Amino acid sequence: MDSPAYTIRRSPRRKTVSIRINPDKSIVILAPAGLSDARISEVVLQKKAWIRKQYNELDRCRYHCQKHQFDHGEIFLYQGRQLRLRHITGRGGVEVGDDIISVAIPPGLMDCLERRRFVSKQLRQFYRSRAHEILRNKTFTLGKMHALEPLFVATKEYSSRWGCCFGDGRIYFNWKIIMAPEAIIDYVIIHELCHLRMANHSPGFWSLVENILPDWRERRLWLRRNGHALIM
């Protein structure tokens, strides 16, 4: 690999250099405001092996990042299943079949852009509603099984995390995790439940996770490889 191309984003609040690899393999360098281009270039060269490894991980992804247009026939992920979008005539609403996800569109909505916006809104509402119901129920059930019971469970939209646990017992999940297979959803839930007992990522925390999910490493690896594709 030659020296990779990258974009630099400087911030006066940042104290260290961080390298971000996007799903399209573009590289963003997050750097302190005063750090020279020469020093950043040195850091990138030092991290060439790590960058190559990240590229290889992206090549092994099961799913690939796809920007949706919300057209008839597109593929959407839902609980690990790849469902083909179908536009049908109706007054709104979403239904999931074996391999189809149908959105009912009012017959008077003829403009292509308006139809896409309508379908986008319907799908997002459906996913968020189902995510809230499924994640909430599973979290309380698993929490009771393992004596890790949260005070409150809800969903949000996060840009760079799958869940968040607060010291007062509240847990929030990124609703987009509902696109992942059940085993991955369970991993995210158990991860946040364990934070009720240990609010860090110490060896003790991971030991607690492993007592519940012995294969947590494989599940975490799946999420690292495929999480970028869980988008809408």
Residues 96 and 136 in one domain: no
Residue 168 lies in a domain: yes
Which one, of 138, 214, 205, lies nearest residue 171 by Cα? 138
Does some domain include residue 225? yes
* Predicted pLDDT at 123: 97
92 and 171 housed in the same domain: no
For residue 166, list its beta bridge partners: none
Instruction: Say what the pTM is.
Output: 0.77
Answer yes or no: is 25 within a domain. yes
With 0-12 / 13-18 / 19 or more C-beta atoms within 10 angstroms meaning exposed / middle / buried, residue 226 is buried
117 and 139: one domain?
no
Average pLDDT of the segment spanning 7-18:
91
Domain's final residue, options 122, 139, 158: 122
Asked whether residue 118 falls in the same domain as residue 140, the answer is no
* Reported confidence tier of residue 61, pLDDT bands at 50, 70, 90: low
Q: Tell me, yes or no, whether 171 lies in a domain.
A: yes
* 220: Cβ contacts below 8 Å, ≥ 6 apart: 187
Tokens of 207: 């030991």
Arithmetic mean of pLDDT, 176-184: 97
Is 132 in a helix, a strand, or coil? helix
| Number of C-beta neighbours around residue 157 at 10 A | 10
Which whole-number Å values give the CA distances from 64 to 5, 25, 35, in the listed order?
22, 12, 34
Counted domains in the chain: 3
Q: What is the pLDDT of residue 2?
A: 65
3-state secondary structure of 220: helix
Q: Using alpha carbons only, what angle is made at residue 54 by residues 53 and 59, rounded to the nearest 5 degrees?
A: 95
Regarding whether 187 and 137 lie in a shared domain, the answer is yes
Say if residue 38 is in the same domain as residue 104: no
The answer to whether 31 and 10 are in contact (CB under 8 A) is yes
Q: What angle do CA 154, 209, 165 make, to 5 degrees?
A: 30
Q: Domain for residue 2, yes or no?
A: no
Q: Do residues 101 and 183 both lie within one domain?
A: no
Residues 223-232, mean pLDDT to the nearest whole number? 88
Domain interval for residue 19: 7-59
Q: For residue 213, which amino acid is it?
A: L
Within a domain: 195: yes
Indicate the SS3 state at residue 117.
Answer: helix
> If pLDDT is split at 50, 70 and 90, which confidence band does 59 have?
confident
20-54 pLDDT, tens per residue?
A: 887 677 899 999 999 999 999 999 999 999 898 88
Question: Do 44 and 26 share a domain, yes or no?
Answer: yes
Answer yes or no: is pLDDT of 73 > 90: yes
